[in-house]
């Protein structure tokens, strides 16, 4: 059984040896037909198996896949000798007449013009963004030798992925690991991704506070009927501080994602949950540019942060837009050039909804994008956003659940921090801050569409603002 490991875990794939052998047979038959040979005639056609993300070394995969016809990651660095070896193998072992170049050109290079749908482009560019970068491997190796480390990086640099992978490695070393972030949806995303590791507990910060208070006091804390969140959360934090001594020394290691959103006073009670508050491992992942809650860091880590400098999520076009809102260490993007960022201008929210209907319908029906690959984000909250006026856009159902991949997600920028979608539409930019737009625009991995009220075009980078003006005719 063959399996592939991607961002969503392992999944079975077709046998590449059988696929290669079948393709060789089809090619041989096509060569025979085009060249006018008799049915009994046989063309000399071989095949190879390409495993560009795998190290095969000298191993033989199986009897019908000798090492000479397998091209692995090492071979990709010296492709010509690898291909020479492959051709030499089939020249020794295959029978039949070798087809001429002209016959092969007729079979394989017949010219035609066929435009790929947007969905195919999105899928291809998403695959190009999935590979772990060499820098990320180096960071994992580096932090393996340190017990208290801060890792900084822009949106899309792989901080959450590294946090989850570090949690796995610590658990494999025998630690009980606490993973904490700020955002509820990101906590659920991490919880699902680490659900197979019993030694790892994942909480959003205030989830952790509620869980500890409930365990110690025997009652579930809740927000009072007349109590605002601004009053409830400080009270909850105070109760957490008073309760944490009763559950101290529970964890061997602490990992914090979204550390830029942690208040300075949160760190001490978190440290008290560790076996050794002063020495137990702590790994904090942060992006100062995403500090949309304006909280100080105050991390209990003295060393200089390790800087992630490669954007692994976004295409080049999206990265250039996001980069206009980023202030920090220079960042490079390794993704494909990508599809141009799309902009739409509107005067009223009713006009915006009409634009959304038309645009979303075209994404799904004409471009072939799956509804579950689309997120519509707003800086506003549910009660004041037009996204909650209706339960569908363009004839396709909306959902507030990020894990319902049958529908289009509508969500606030705040809630969606740390997550991503192939296609993201950002709406209702009036009142949005630069950090909000940085966070929102960076959620799109391969296609970004911006719906901007005309008076707010000054919030956009100059190139998009000019594009918006030409669209709006202003």
- Domain at 179, CATH number: 3.40.50.300
* Residue 467 and residue 365 share a domain: yes
Are 16 and 51 contained in the same domain?
A: yes
State whether 234 and 86 are in the same domain.
no
**Same-domain check for residues 439 and 338:** yes
CA-nearest of 173, 201, 169, 174 to 187 is: 201
Distance separating alpha carbons of residues 7 and 420, to the nearest angstrom? 12
Question: Could you say which of 277, 311, 345 is where a domain stops?
Answer: 311
Q: Which residues contact 286 (CB under 8 A, 6 or more apart)?
A: 150, 151, 152, 159, 258, 259, 260, 297, 299, 305
- Displacement of CA 204 from its chain's centroid (Å): 19
Is residue 119 situated within a structural domain?
A: no
CA angle, residues 208, 212, 215, in degrees to nearest 5: 140
Confidence of residue 467 (pLDDT cuts 50, 70, 90): confident
**Residue 442 in domain:** yes
Report the alpha-carbon distance of residue 273 to residue 313 in Å, rounded.
Answer: 33
Token pair of 359 as six digits? 């645009």
In a domain, 182, yes or no: yes
What's the mean pLDDT in 214-221? 93
pLDDT-above-70 percentage for the chain: 87
Please tell me whether residues 388 and 459 are part of one structural domain.
Answer: yes
pTM for this predicted structure: 0.70
Alpha-carbon dihedral sign for residues 110, 115, 118, 122: positive
pLDDT for residue 388 is more than 80: yes
Q: Give 294-337 pLDDT, tens digit per residue.
A: 444 678 888 888 888 888 888 999 999 999 998 877 888 877 88
Question: Half-sphere exposure (CA, 13 Å, Cβ side) for 319?
Answer: 21
**CA distance readout (Å), 261 to 83, 412, 447:** 52, 17, 27
Parent domain of 66: 2-114
In this structure, the answer to whether residues 415 and 350 fall within a common structural domain is: yes
Task: Give 133's DSSP letter.
Answer: P
Question: Same domain, yes or no, for 306 and 160?
Answer: yes
Please answer whether residues 301 and 282 qualify as being in contact, where contact means their C-beta atoms are separated by less than 8 angstroms. yes
DSSP category for residue 295: -
Residue 211 resides in a domain? yes
Tell me the range of 120-129, 239-248, 308-317, 456-465 where mean pLDDT is highest: 239-248
Q: Which of 137-146, 235-244, 267-276 has the lowest mean pLDDT?
A: 137-146
- pLDDT the model gives residue 429: 92
**Can you tell me which residue has the tokens 């001594």?**
245
Q: Do 450 and 471 touch, CB atoms closer than 8 A?
A: no
Within-domain flag for 236:
yes
On whether residue 208 sits in a domain, the answer given is yes
Instruction: Assess whether 357 and 384 both reside in one domain.
Output: yes
Q: Which two tokens stand for residue 59?
A: 């191993």
Positive or negative, the Cα torsion across 170, 172, 178, 181? positive
| Chosen domain end from 83, 114, 145 | 114
Two tokens, residue 36: 């006018």
Q: Do residues 172 and 86 both lie within one domain? A: no
Question: Does any domain span residue 320?
Answer: no
| Residues 366 and 234 reside in one and the same domain | no
- Higher pLDDT, residue 425 or 24: 425
Q: Give the pair of three-digit tokens for residue 153.
A: 């990086």
Q: What is the DSSP string of 299-358?
A: -S--SPPEEE-EE-SS-HHHHHHHHTT--SS--EE-S---PPPEEEEESSHHHHHHHHHH
Q: Is 128 a domain residue? A: no
Q: Do 98 and 165 sit in the same domain of this protein?
A: no
State yes or no: pLDDT of 457 exceeds 60: yes
As for how many domains the chain has, the answer is 3
Does residue 103 register a pLDDT over 50?
yes
pLDDT of residue 28: 78
For the ranges 54-63, 76-85, 344-353, 448-457, which has the lowest average pLDDT?
A: 54-63
Q: Residue written as tokens 């894990």?
A: 403
Angle between helix 159-172 and 134-143 (nearest 10)? 40
- Check residue 97 and give its pLDDT: 77
Domain closes at, from 311, 346, 364: 311
Q: What is the dihedral of CA 140, 145, 147, 153, to 10 degrees?
A: -30
Mean pLDDT of 445-459: 91
263 lies in the same domain as 224:
yes
Does residue 269 have a pLDDT over 80?
A: yes
């Amino acid at each position: 059984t063959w399996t592939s490991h991607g961002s969503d875990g392992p999944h079975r794939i077709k046998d590449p040896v059988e696929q290669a052998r079948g393709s060789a047979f089809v090619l041989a038959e096509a060569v025979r037909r085009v060249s006018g040979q008799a049915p009994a005639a046989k063309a000399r056609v071989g095949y190879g198996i390409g495993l560009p993300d795998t190290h095969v070394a000298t191993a033989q995969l199986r009897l019908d896949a000798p090492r000479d016809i397998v091209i692995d990651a090492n071979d990709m660095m010296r492709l010509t000798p690898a291909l020479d070896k492959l051709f030499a193998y089939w020249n020794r072992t295959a029978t039949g007449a070798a087809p001429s170049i002209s016959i092969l050109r007729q079979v394989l290079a017949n010219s035609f013009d066929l435009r790929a749908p947007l969905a195919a482009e999105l899928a291809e560019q998403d695959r190009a963004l999935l590979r772990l970068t060499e820098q990320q491997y180096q960071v994992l190796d580096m932090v393996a030798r340190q017990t208290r480390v801060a890792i900084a990086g822009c949106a899309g640099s792989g901080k959450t992925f590294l946090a989850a992978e570090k949690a796995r490695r610590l658990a494999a070393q025998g630690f009980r690991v606490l993973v904490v972030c700020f955002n509820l949806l990101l906590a659920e995303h991490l919880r699902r991704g680490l659900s197979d590791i019993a030694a790892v507990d994942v909480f959003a910060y205030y989830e952790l506070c509620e869980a500890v208070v409930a365990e110690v006091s025997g009652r579930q804390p809740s927000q009072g009927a007349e109590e605002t969140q601004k009053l409830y959360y400080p009270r909850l934090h105070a109760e957490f501080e008073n309760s944490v001594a009763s559950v101290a020394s529970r964890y061997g290691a602490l990992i914090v994602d979204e550390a830029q959103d942690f208040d300075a006073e949160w760190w001490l009670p978190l440290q008290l949950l560790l076996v050794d508050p002063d020495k137990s491992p702590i790994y904090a992942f942060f992006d100062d540019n995403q500090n949309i809650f304006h909280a100080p860091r105050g991390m209990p880590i003295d060393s200089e942060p390790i800087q992630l400098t490669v954007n692994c999520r976004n295409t080049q076009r999206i990265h250039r837009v996001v980069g206009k809102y980023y202030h920090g260490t220079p960042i490079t993007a390794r993704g494909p050039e990508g599809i141009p960022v799309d902009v739409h201008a509107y005067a009223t929210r009713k006009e915006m909804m009409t634009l959304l209907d038309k645009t979303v319908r075209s994404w799904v029906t004409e471009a072939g994008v799956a509804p579950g690959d689309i997120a519509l984000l707003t800086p506003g909250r549910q009660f004041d956003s037009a996204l909650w006026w209706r339960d569908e856009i363009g004839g396709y159902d909306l959902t507030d659940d990020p894990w319902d991949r049958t529908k289009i997600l509508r969500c606030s920028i705040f809630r969606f921090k740390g997550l991503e979608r192939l296609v993201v539409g950002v709406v209702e930019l009036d009142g949005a801050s630069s950090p909000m737009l940085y966070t929102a625009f960076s959620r799109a991995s391969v296609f970004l569409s911006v719906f901007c009220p005309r008076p707010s075009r000054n919030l956009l980078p100059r190139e998009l603002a000019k594009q918006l003006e030409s669209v709006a005719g202003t």
